[in-house]
Structure 1
Amino acid sequence: MDNEAWNRVVTLHGRVEQALAKALQRGHGLGLSEYRALCNLARAEDGELRMQELADAIGLNQSSVSRLVARLEDAGLTRRDLCPRDRRGVYTVITEEGRALQAKAAPTYDEVLTATLDAAASDPAVSALVGALRDRY
């Protein structure tokens, strides 16, 4: 029973992630992890997070988030900063360009998420899961 339920979660997750990644890349030149990093930074106090906090928030390991932040920095969407109290602590800070791109991409993300979940709601294999997600949140 758990295995079947989990497989449905994985199926739904895969569909949603694929649709979001495709739309964000095509419409805004952003990867899904990049978009999620910008969202977390935009919501953070002062627009900054420690690298480990960002890794935890988007589900990446330390080395993957370092590569992600390097790509965002190269694009001018974030910058790194040192913690004033602990020079070993490294923060990533969203720039105004990063905020603008995140805000521009947000409607695409929201529209594609809703459309993908709407389509999945008509698939008997995952419709109950979509219903449960929507009922709870």
Structure 2
Amino acid sequence: METAIWDQLVALHGMVTHRLAKQMQRRHNIGLSEFQALCRLASADDGELRMQELAELIGLNQSSVSRLVARLESSGLTRRDLCPKDRRGVYTVITDEGRALHREALPTYQQALAEAMDEAAADTRVSELAATLRS
């Protein structure tokens, strides 16, 4: 039973992330991981998170989140800051440009997610799980 549910979850995740990534890139020229990072930063206290915390929240390892943050910084969407209590700690902070892109792209994300879940509801491989998630 657990294997069957896990297989459905993996399939559903793939379907949904594919649609989300395609729409975010096409309409806002931003990758899905970058948008997810902006979401976490926009909702964080003071719009900042430690790099390790951001990595955990979006499911990336440390080197991947460092590359992601570098891309966000080069686009002017975030900036790095040192932790005042521990100079070894590095934060990434969302900029005004990052907040603006997040606000602009959020409706696209929400629409693409709803469409992906509608599509999943009609797919017999994942329809049961999709219905459970929507209830």
Aligned-pair distance for 1:27? 0.4
| 2:100 paired with 1:100 | yes
| 2:117 paired with 1:129 | no
Match of 1:66 in 2: 66
Q: TM-score with structure 2 length normalisation?
A: 0.98
Q: Map 1:24-43 onto structure 2 (within 5 A).
A: 24-43=24-43
Distance 1:125 1:58 in 2: 26
Q: TM-score with structure 1 length normalisation?
A: 0.96
Match of 2:87 in 1: 87
Q: CA RMSD in A?
A: 0.7
Distance 1:88 1:123 in 2: 49
Match of 1:13 in 2: 13
Identity in percent? 64
Match of 1:109 in 2: 109
Q: Which runs of 5+ in 1 are unaligned?
A: none
Which aligned runs of 4 or more in structure 1 are off by greater than 3 angstroms? none
Q: Which runs of 5+ in 2 are unaligned?
A: none
Aligned-pair distance for 1:12? 0.7
Aligned length: 135
